[in-house]
Structure 1
Amino acid sequence: MLPRGTAVRRDSGLYGYERALARCGLAPVAGADEAGRGACAGPLVAAAVILPEGKRGEVPGLADSKLLRPATREKVYDQVLRRAAAVSVVVITPDEIDRVGLHRSNVAALRRALAKLTLPAGYVLTDGFPVAGLGVPGLAVWKGDRVAACIAAASVVAKVTRDRMMAELHEQYPQYGFDEHKGYCTAEHNAALAAHGPCAHHRFSYVNVRTAAGLRVSAGAVDDNALIAEEMGEGEYR
């Protein structure tokens, strides 16, 4: 929870959380987010970012990565790396997601990204999911990448990092169109799965991948349709 007596006004802007926490002596504030949660192929990438206080920490064009066009997102990514006080990235492979489970992998990735920061955080903001065991207070913020600058910065770093990895995978497996849908469960991707079957970089704990591979769909398989509604409805794959 936020410190007692601390309130963040709705009109305080993208940097309102960081400024309010700094006034309480809880700076620096770290933000963490992930990209690729809803994809059925490719890695899950988590990033953590600490932005410095003041003008240097105000990143031009910063917003939720899903709301930025690819060219703009690349420019914002460069600005985040140039301005950030600390940045870290963690990559979770499809094998680990299949072995550990999507949600546990997601939370572990956020925790590992925050632990890798070279600058100790005074407070942690995460997008959506609470992360325990950090040794500092924190808050899970619904749609945090739209209301907190450090989370938005982490979302951009995670998204650009993962998109570049998916572009490299496209060079190895052009039949799937990874450069377009980035491994998400689009109609085109499912058609390619039906035609070619899955590759080693698909997540075999997902219903559509198991179906394409001719494997039995277990009760614990990830419902890719639910993830489509959760993430692709916001244009996450762009």
Structure 2
Amino acid sequence: MTIRVRRDSGLYGWERALGRAGLAPVAGADEAGRGACAGPLVAAACILGEGRTIEGLRDSKLMTARARDACYDAIIASAKAYAVVVVPADEVDAQGVHRANLAALRRAVLRLAVTPRYVLTDGFQVDGMGAPSLAIWKGDRVAGCVAAASVLAKVTRDRMMIEADAHFPGYGFAVHKGYTTRVHQEALERLGPSPIHRMSYRNVREAADLAHGAERRARVIDDE
């Protein structure tokens, strides 16, 4: 079956086209935190209510924090089904970020209370979701259900990183959310890795080596 979606069909064109083909309900899946060196990877899946639109919905990365929060509340209130999966930093290290990402997206879809007949993902093809699927380049910009999943994932993760900032002060998690910025890297090198840093990332390992070296030097001075 060939599904054709016009470029000017808007954010909900994919859902409408798949629905006309008898493939509703359609789920979207996306993640947040793939590129961060600290904090969890968060994946979400969402089936929007039939015929419903979310005011202001778009790619979560292009929205302000206030707009994302408003969309998050609207999605929770009106979605037919949604699910969120959190993968801690140590599990990301153990599995590798790409494998952890695919597994989390799969788990999010399989946890939906309503079984989708079709799944749209952002960028990566994900197998084993119990339904036909299609990976769409920039899916969170062209498919409403994927955009909704991106909002759920990002808002969930941002809130977790703001909470982490209170537990691990000094890194600036509330601001950069665990992504590698100059301020974050300077704090990482000064303080060493926190328990939520991903040790499989090169910049984190190098900062750990610096911290251990400084600790050894301090020990030698104390012994003298």
Superposition TM-score, scaled by structure 1 size: 0.87
Aligned residue number for residue 67 of structure 1: 62
Q: What SS does the aligned partner of 2:170 have?
A: helix
2:154 paired with 1:154 = no
Query: Could you tell me which amino acid in structure 1 is paired with residue 117 of structure 2?
Result: G
Provide Cα deviations, 1:34-71, integer angstroms capped at 9, x if missing partner: 000000000000000000211xx200110000000001
- Picking from 17, 23, 29, the partner of 1:20 is 17
Query: Could you tell me which amino acid in structure 2 is paired with residue 101 of structure 1?
Result: G
2:185 paired with 1:207 = no
Ranges of 4+ aligned residues in structure 1 off by more than 4 Å: none
Aligned residue number for residue 224 of structure 1: none
**Distance (whole Å) between structure 1 residues aligned to residue 39 and residue 152 of structure 2:** 16
How is 1:80-99 mapped onto 2 (pairs within 5 angstroms)? 80-99=75-94
2:138 paired with 1:138 = no
Q: How many residues of Structure 1 are paired with residues of Structure 2 in the alignment?
A: 210
Give the alignment's Cα RMSD to 1 decimal: 0.8
Aligned residue number for residue 41 of structure 1: 38
Query: Could you tell me which amino acid in structure 1 is paired with residue 113 of structure 2?
Result: T
Query: Could you tell me which amino acid in structure 2 is paired with residue 59 of structure 1?
Result: I
CA contact (8 A) 2:54 2:74 kept: yes
Q: What SS does the aligned partner of 1:124 have?
A: strand
Provide structure 1 residue ranges, at least 5 long, that are not aligned to the other structure: 216-238
Aligned residue number for residue 231 of structure 1: none
2:127 paired with 1:126 = no
**Distance (whole Å) between structure 1 residues aligned to residue 127 and residue 43 of structure 2:** 16
Query: Could you tell me which amino acid in structure 2 is paired with residue 204 of structure 1?
Result: M
**Distance (whole Å) between structure 2 residues aligned to residue 135 and residue 117 of structure 1:** 11
Provide Cα deviations, 1:106-148, integer angstroms capped at 9, x if missing partner: 0000000000000000100001111101221110011000000
**Distance (whole Å) between structure 1 residues aligned to residue 109 and residue 131 of structure 2:** 11
**Distance (whole Å) between structure 2 residues aligned to residue 138 and residue 72 of structure 1:** 29
Aligned residue number for residue 213 of structure 2: none
Q: Answer with 1 or 2: which has the greater Rg.
A: 2
- Picking from 94, 100, 104, the partner of 1:105 is 100
Provide Cα deviations, 1:59-110, integer angstroms capped at 9, x if missing partner: 0110000000001110010000011000100000110011110100000000
Q: What SS does the aligned partner of 2:49 have?
A: coil
Following superposition, the deviation at residue 16 of structure 1 comes to 0.3
Aligned residue number for residue 173 of structure 2: 178
How is 1:218-233 mapped onto 2 (pairs within 5 angstroms)? none
